[in-house]
């Protein structure tokens, strides 16, 4: 069953399509987003100018280590960062061209769920333990759509059917803890789809699940995304999980996007040494028995990001310029971009 994921059951990705999507009017566009966390230990620069965009029917994977700022970006987009300690200090989040960061609280609330919805990593803690799964889906429909109890229940059963929960009509009366991990994540997906959002942000939707269930959930997300022509942002630290379903990948490091490319080009010829190192550190069957290559050192502390390129202390290609000048995020043509002084060389080498 796990093969179905990797044999390309979802492999509708064709690179001209992705390019077309990228050129279309973006559904959601994040421009130069800056967020800092003001803590007792000082100011942590968690996001230092993050930009990405998602168009209708496109899947963007945001890849990065823990602490790289990928979840913070998502929460800043949703407007659910806890302030304090988090403060958005700059940038724009444009949804259909409207800057949400400048919108008032009511407008933002109206966009949440309806325009942009979010799936959380751990569905057990993201579902309220004292309410049945059904109640939590119906609540949105009743409050936001003014549906009657009976109509909302019917719709909620449909939604649970859609995410393939067996016996939906009965299980809708159960509590989150009565669901298994995979079923809970499905219920969470159903909940986020209740108001037909145009953009779905999935924050590590499969991290808490075991591998076979991971594959099922990714398939499900990809399928729903295709059917509804949603924009999907998949946040993950696992390249393998998104390789099949993503159209484009944005790689984050220390609160910046360091590389953005379509999936095929990224795997074939990474444009940033960090991406290259990530790819090399994937366990490979043909190198069995050899030592696993890792990236030396640790990600920088966000209160003390090194000058120049934040990756230079760990970078095999680092030169003098890397320690002094922050590399620009340059377009390399073909819809690709990289924030490395030697991006061109990396390309020609790859």
Partner 1 sequence: MTEPSELQLSEAPPGGLTRQGSLWGDAWRELRRKPRFVISAAIILVVLLMAVVPSLFTSVDPNFADLDHSRALPSGDAWFGYDLQGRNLFARTVYGTRASLIVGVTSALLTVLIGSVIGIVAGYYGKWLDSLLSRFGDIFAGMPFVLGAIVILTTLNAPTSNPSQTRIIVQVVLSIAVLSWPVAMRIMRSATLVAKQLDYVKAARGLGASPFRIIFRHLLPNTLAPVMVYATIAVGAFIGAEATLAFLGIGLRPPVVSWGVMISDSSNYVRTVPHMLLFPAAFVTITVLAFVMLGDAVRDALDPKSR
Residues that bind partner 1 (CB under 8 A): 1-2, 75, 78, 80, 84, 109-114, 117-118, 120-122, 125-132, 134-135, 139-140, 143-144, 153, 166-167, 170-171, 173, 175, 177-178, 180, 182-183, 188, 191-192, 194-195, 212-213, 216
Question: Based on CB atoms, which residue is closest to partner 1, 189 or 242?
Answer: 189
Question: Among residues 48 and 192, whose Cβ is nearest to partner 1?
Answer: 192
- State which residue, 114 or 280, has the beta carbon closest to partner 1: 114
Closest distance to partner 1 from the beta carbon of 130 (Å): 4
Closest approach of Cβ 246 to partner 1, in Å?
A: 22
SS3 262: strand
- Residue 288 zone, left/alpha/beta (φ > 0; ψ -120 to 50; rest): beta
Q: Least distance from C-beta 171 to partner 1, angstroms? A: 7
What distance in Å separates the CA atoms of residue 238 and residue 63, rounded to the nearest whole number? 7
CA 341 – CA 326 distance, rounded (Å):
9
Host H or E run for residue 345: helix 343-349
Check: CB of residue 338 under 8 Å from CB of residue 266: no
Strand order across the beta sheet in which 116-119 lies:
116-119, 199-203, 231-236, 59-63, 248-253, 256-262, 336-338, 330-333
* Least distance in angstroms from the C-beta of 232 to partner 1: 15
Nearer residue to partner 1 within complex by CB, 170 or 268: 170
Residue 210 CB, nearest approach to partner 1 (Å): 9
Helix/strand/coil percent split, the chain, to 5: 40, 25, 40
Which CB atom, from 79 or from 308, has the smaller least distance to partner 1?
79
Q: d(Cα 93, Cα 29) in Å, to the nearest integer?
A: 6
Minimum CB separation of residue 146 from partner 1 in Å reads 14
> Minimum Å distance from CB 127 to partner 1?
6
User: The tokens of 163 are what?
Assistant: 């995410």
Structure tokens at 59: 């899947």
Asked if residue 162 lies in contact with residue 168, where contact means CB atoms within 8 angstroms, the answer is no
User: CA–CA separation, 95 vs 107, rounded Å?
Assistant: 12
Coil, helix or strand at residue 87: strand
Q: How far is the CB of 247 from partner 1 (least distance, A)?
A: 24
Nearer to partner 1, 200 or 339 (CB): 200
Is the Cβ of residue 122 or residue 280 nearer to partner 1 in the bound state? Answer: 122
Q: How far apart are the first and last CA of the chain?
A: 34
- Work out the angle at residue 32's Cα, subtended by the Cα atoms of residues 30 and 34, and round it to the nearest 5 degrees: 105
Instruction: Rank residues 150 and 285 by Cβ distance to partner 1 and give the closer one.
Output: 150
- 57 within 8 A of 231, measured Cβ to Cβ: yes
């Amino acid at each position: 069953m796990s093969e179905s994921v990797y044999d390309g059951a979802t492999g509708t990705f064709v690179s001209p399509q992705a390019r077309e999507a990228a050129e279309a009017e973006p559904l959601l566009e994040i421009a130069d987003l800056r967020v800092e966390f003001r803590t007792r230990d000082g100011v942590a620069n968690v996001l230092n100018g993050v930009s990405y965009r998602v168009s209708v029917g496109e899947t963007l994977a945001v890849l990065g280590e823990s602490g790289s700022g990928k979840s913070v970006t998502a929460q800043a987009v949703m407007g659910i960062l806890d302030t304090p300690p988090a403060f958005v200090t700059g940038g724009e989040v444009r949804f259909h061209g409207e800057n949400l960061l400048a919108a008032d609280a009511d407008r933002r609330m109206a966009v949440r769920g309806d325009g942009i919805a979010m799936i959380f990593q751990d569905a057990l803690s993201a579902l309220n333990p004292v309410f049945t799964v059904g109640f939590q889906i119906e609540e949105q429909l009743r409050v936001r759509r003014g549906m009657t109890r009976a109509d909302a229940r019917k719709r909620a059963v449909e939604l649970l059917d859609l995410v393939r929960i067996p016996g939906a009509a009965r299980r809708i009366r159960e509590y989150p803890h009565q669901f298994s991990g995979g079923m809970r994540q499905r219920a969470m997906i159903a909940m986020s789809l209740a108001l037909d959002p145009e953009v779905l942000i999935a924050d590590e939707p499969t991290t808490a699940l075991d591998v076979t269930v991971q594959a099922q959930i990714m398939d499900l997300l990809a399928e729903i995304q295709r059917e509804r022509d949603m924009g999907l942002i998949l946040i993950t630290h696992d390249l393998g999980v998104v390789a099949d379903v993503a159209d484009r990948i944005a790689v984050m490091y220390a609160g910046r996007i360091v590389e953005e490319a379509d999936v095929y080009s990224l795997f074939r010829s990474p444009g940033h040494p960090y991406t290259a190192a990530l790819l090399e550190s994937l366990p490979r069957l043909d190198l069995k028995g050899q030592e696993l290559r890792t990236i030396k050192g640790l990600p920088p502390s966000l209160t003390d990001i090194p000058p120049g390129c934040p990756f230079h202390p760990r970078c095999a290609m680092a030169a003098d310029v890397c320690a002094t000048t922050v590399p620009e995020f340059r377009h390399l043509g073909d819809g690709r971009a990289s924030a490395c002084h030697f991006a061109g060389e990396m390309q020609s080498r790859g």
